Amino acid sequence: MNLVLLFESDFSDRTGLAVLEDRRFRHVVNVHRAATGTTLKVGFLNGRTGTGHIVAMDSKSLTMEVELVNDPPPPLPLNLVLALPRPKVLNRVIAAASSMGVKKIWLIHAAKVEKSYWQSPRLSDENLFAQSVLGLEQAKDTVMPEIMLKRRFKPFVEDEIPGIIGKNLALCADPSGSVPCPFNQTAPVTLAIGPEGGFIPYEIDLLIHNGFTPVHLGKRILRVETALPAVVYRLFSPDIL
Amino acid sequence: MNLVLLFESDFSDRTGLAVLEDRRFRHVVNVHRAATGTTLKVGFLNGRTGTGHIVAMDSKSLTMEVELVNDPPPPLPLNLVLALPRPKVLNRVIAAASSMGVKKIWLIHAAKVEKSYWQSPRLSDENLFAQSVLGLEQAKDTVMPEIMLKRRFKPFVEDEIPGIIGKNLALCADPSGSVPCPFNQTAPVTLAIGPEGGFIPYEIDLLIHNGFTPVHLGKRILRVETALPAVVYRLFSPDIL
């Protein structure tokens, strides 16, 4: 936790002080060894970042004076279209995407996504929010990604993808891609990543027909949690990362 | 599992047939729906890849005719020096490194590595081997990475690092690095990645003094499991990945 993300509800009274008593309280006490007098890096959800100076602490909570003076880091100009991963992997992928500054994520169905994955409690708003918070805290960001669930591949690709892509570059990471993934981009990109086992040829064709270019990252087939940072840090210039 | 990795011990009799009855058996039955007559992609530990044709199966085991005809993918020309991650993260990082073709990994101590991490049973030879196998199976590779444990930072950096680097590029991924990480490399690289919380200034200085250049990946601080694929796929040309 490189930044403590604060919410409206943390400012519980009219003093302007923030009171923490949950996971964040335990983390700053146990990991950061925070005490009265400690100053922590904080940020306000979807707002600015700054400092939180601990003015009081007991065994259950701490109280901070908060000063918010800096803008959060710029968002990554990436629309991420991701075949719904296994529930076990979903949390890590959402946290990683959030830490890299991705602000729009569409979790979509595909032939090789098991239908049962859509029943996972990890797809609840509460859990997706919690995982996104972990990523923001990691990267000192405050701006919550928006996560959309699309349970039908064809209508999503045909009806929504063209509007999402607009006039920007759209790439589909696929080991069968004949072109290597470009690099040092600074303009917005829409990126699609398939499920374990890949998109099937019909899906690749539909993606191509709707604006995507399949690109490869080399010869090796990577897991989605490895492929995502690999593509993002290949694709974009460090200037905007 | 994109390849079933086979071991000497799987070839238990003089027929030349391989018999599987462990995790790999259950996986190919439950996930790949393999049956008698199915042909699977296989590879022999540290050897060639090819096909395994299932000639017999019962509820506990399968028997394959194996033909090994192809070389495994080329290794990644990367020496990876990694501050020992939290045990919870270690397995994933080893499997990811193995899937990317890393063949030499030094797990090292650093000021911000908790001493207790060195007691983790996940550092056993058996577990490191098992996690490496998962990465090889993912990337259709057969060549087992070598993992070395270095519990003392200074003697390792001073006495061993210069010989490991040789005349090649040596980079230390660090958010404080003033130079962006280079890209499209094809020559060997030694890469150091710090612990959560980073290398301390004394450690960075010692790394620089012994041949490393600190490079950054952008403004965001990434977790090690995100940073590793990010650097590797930023650093190397897709031609050799």
Residue closest to A45 by CA, chosen among A129, A149, A147, A148: A129
* Triad B39, B44, B50: Cα angle to 5°: 35
Q: What residues make up the domain containing B157?
A: 78-240
**If pLDDT is split at 50, 70 and 90, which confidence band does A84 have?**
very high
Q: How close B229 gets to chain A, by Cα (Å)?
A: 5
Across the interface, whether the CB atoms of A226 and B99 are under 8 A apart is answered yes
Q: Which of A54, A70, A86 is the last residue of a domain?
A: A70
Backbone φ and ψ for B80, nearest 5 degrees, come out as -105, 120
Give yes or no for residue A15 having a pLDDT over 90.
no
Task: State the pLDDT at residue B73.
Answer: 96
End-to-end Cα distance, chain A? 19
State the ipTM, two decimals.
Answer: 0.94
* CATH code of A138's domain: 3.40.1280.10
Quick check: B230 and A230 CB within 8 A?
A: yes
- State how far Cα B183 lies from the chain centre: 21
Q: Is B181 in CB contact (< 8 Å) with chain A?
A: yes
Angle between helices A224-235 and B87-99 (to 10 degrees): 70
H or E stretch covering B108: strand B104-108
Q: Which residues in chain B are contacts of A226 at CB distance < 8 A?
A: 96, 99-100, 229
Regarding whether A136 and A57 lie in a shared domain, the answer is: no
Contact yes or no for A227 and B230 at CB 8 A:
no
- Shared-domain flag, residues A45 and A16: yes
- Cα(B80)–Cα(B103) distance, rounded to whole angstroms? 8
Quote the CA–CA distance of B115 and B195 in Å, as a whole number.
12
Q: Whole-angstrom Cα distance, residue B147 to residue B105?
A: 5
**Residue B26 sits in the same domain as residue B82:** no
Q: Which of A2, A96, A217 sits opposite B221 (nearest CB)?
A: A2
Q: Give which of B2, B94, B8, B1 is closest to B44, Cα–Cα.
A: B8
Asked if B241 lies within 8 A of A227 by C-beta distance, the reply is no
Mean predicted confidence (pLDDT) in A159-184: 94
pLDDT in tens, A20-66: 999 999 999 998 899 999 999 999 999 999 999 999 999 999 999 99
Q: Tell me, yes or no, whether B137 and B166 share the same domain.
A: yes
Who's near B46: CB < 8 A, 6+ residues apart?
B142, B143, B144
Pair A138, A87 in one domain: yes
What CA–CA distance (Å, rounded) separates A176 from A221? Answer: 10
| Structure confidence at residue B15 (pLDDT) | 78
* Average pLDDT, rounded, for chain A: 95
Position A167 pLDDT exceeds 90: yes
Q: Which domain-ending residue is among A70, A101, A124?
A: A70
Q: Which residues of A52-67 are buried (b: 16+ CB within 10 A; e: fewer)?
A: bbbeebeeeebbbebe
Reported confidence tier of residue A12, pLDDT bands at 50, 70, 90 = confident
Q: Clarify whether residues B34 and B117 are in a common domain.
A: no
Which residue, of B70, B87, B118, is where some domain finishes? B70
Q: Is the pLDDT of residue A147 over 90?
A: yes
Q: Crossing angle of helices B87-99/B224-235, nearest 10°?
A: 20
Beta carbons of A95 and A132 less than 8 angstroms apart: yes
Is B103 in the same domain as B178? yes
- pLDDT, position A17: 94
B124 touches chain A (CB under 8 A): no
* Cα-based distances in Å from A48 to A38, A73, A76, A241: 20, 10, 17, 19
- Reading chain B (241 residues) residue by residue, the pLDDT tens digits are 899 999 999 997 777 899 999 999 999 999 889 999 999 999 999 999 999 999 999 999 999 999 999 999 999 999 999 999 999 999 999 999 999 999 999 999 999 999 999 999 999 999 999 999 999 999 999 999 999 999 999 999 999 999 999 999 999 998 888 899 999 999 999 999 999 889 999 999 999 999 999 999 999 999 999 999 999 999 999 889 9
pLDDT score recorded for residue A69: 96
Rounded to the nearest angstrom, the minimum Cα separation between B196 and chain A is 10
Is residue B39 located within the same domain as residue B98? no
Is the domain of B8 the same as that of B92? no
Average pLDDT, stretch A178-182?
A: 92
Instruction: Report the predicted TM-score, pTM, of the whole model to 2 decimal places.
Output: 0.94
Other beta carbons within 10 Å of B80: 24
- Partners of residue A116 in chain B, C-beta under 8 Å: none
Q: What pLDDT, on the 0 to 100 scale, is given for residue B201? A: 95
The answer to whether B100 contacts chain A (CB < 8 Å) is yes
Backbone angles phi, psi at B82, to 5 degrees: -125, 125
Residues A110 and A181 in one domain: yes
CB–CB of A183 and B181 under 8 A? no
A102-119 mean pLDDT = 97
Domain count, chain A: 2
State yes or no: pLDDT of A163 exceeds 90: yes
Q: Are residues A60 and A82 in the same domain?
A: no
Same domain, A8 and A122: no
Residues of B in contact with A73 (CB under 8 A): 219-220
Q: Kindly list the strands in the beta sheet with B49-57, ordered across the sheet, starting from the edge strand earlier in the chain.
A: B4-6, B39-44, B49-57, B62-70, B18-20
Helix segments in B140-175, DSSP class H: 153-155, 161-165
Look up the CATH number of the domain holding residue B12: 2.40.240.20
Judge: B220–A241 Cβ closer than 8 Å, yes or no: yes
The per-residue pLDDT for A64 is: 95
